Amino acid sequence: MDINTIPNVNAHLHTPYSFSAFETLTVALDRASDEDVKIVGINDFYSMDGYEEWNREALKRHLFPLFNIEFISLQKEDQDNGIRVNDPNNPGRTYISGKGLCCPPRLNDPYVSQLADVRAESNAQVKEMYQRVNELLLAFDAGFELNFGVIESFCRKDLSANAT
């Protein structure tokens, strides 16, 4: 690569360590490599669990790894007033992404337990959303329902509230 050429970068990839379109973390990295992306950033919701695997697998593919984390916040007053921050469809919701973290991750208490609490709340909300969708499907006599366990096994590596 020419020193004056800016490499292709994707600094915001979700993996199965949070909900992801990719079946495995390595599928995401293989896709990036196939698309000539040279700098790749893991960016999971409430989780740093994939960092070490991301580092190892990115380096195997001669990719430069970045380490990020994403949170969603909700400001009730902004929601009530219809104010949109950085989610065009959901007033009051703000996505916050921490970039350039270290690998392996270093997080001590009280932050480990705070992150576990946030993750547990998020997991509870996801389960509640599935229940609401199933109620709608039943009300419309759709003839099928979502199975949280099946979807979870395809979309999320670990829903443990205690993981970092």
Structural domains of the chain, with CATH: 8-155 (3.20.20.140)
**CA 94 – CA 74 distance, rounded (Å):** 6
45 token code pair: 């919701």
Between CA 151 and CA 145 the distance in angstroms is 11
Residues 6+ apart with CB under 8 A from 80: 92
- DSSP secondary structure, 46-102, as one string: T--TTHHHHHHHHHHTT-EEEEEEEEEEE-HHHHHTT--SS-TTSTTEEEEEE-S--
pLDDT in tens, 106-119: 889 999 999 999 98
List the strands of the sheet with 8-13, edge to edge: 8-13, 37-45, 64-74, 93-98
Residue type, 11: A
Neighbouring C-alpha atoms within 13 Å toward the C-beta of 60: 9
Q: Could you report the per-residue pLDDT of 10-46, keeping only the tens digit for each? A: 999 999 988 788 889 999 999 999 999 999 999 999 9
When pLDDT is cut at 50, 70 and 90, the band that residue 156 belongs to is low
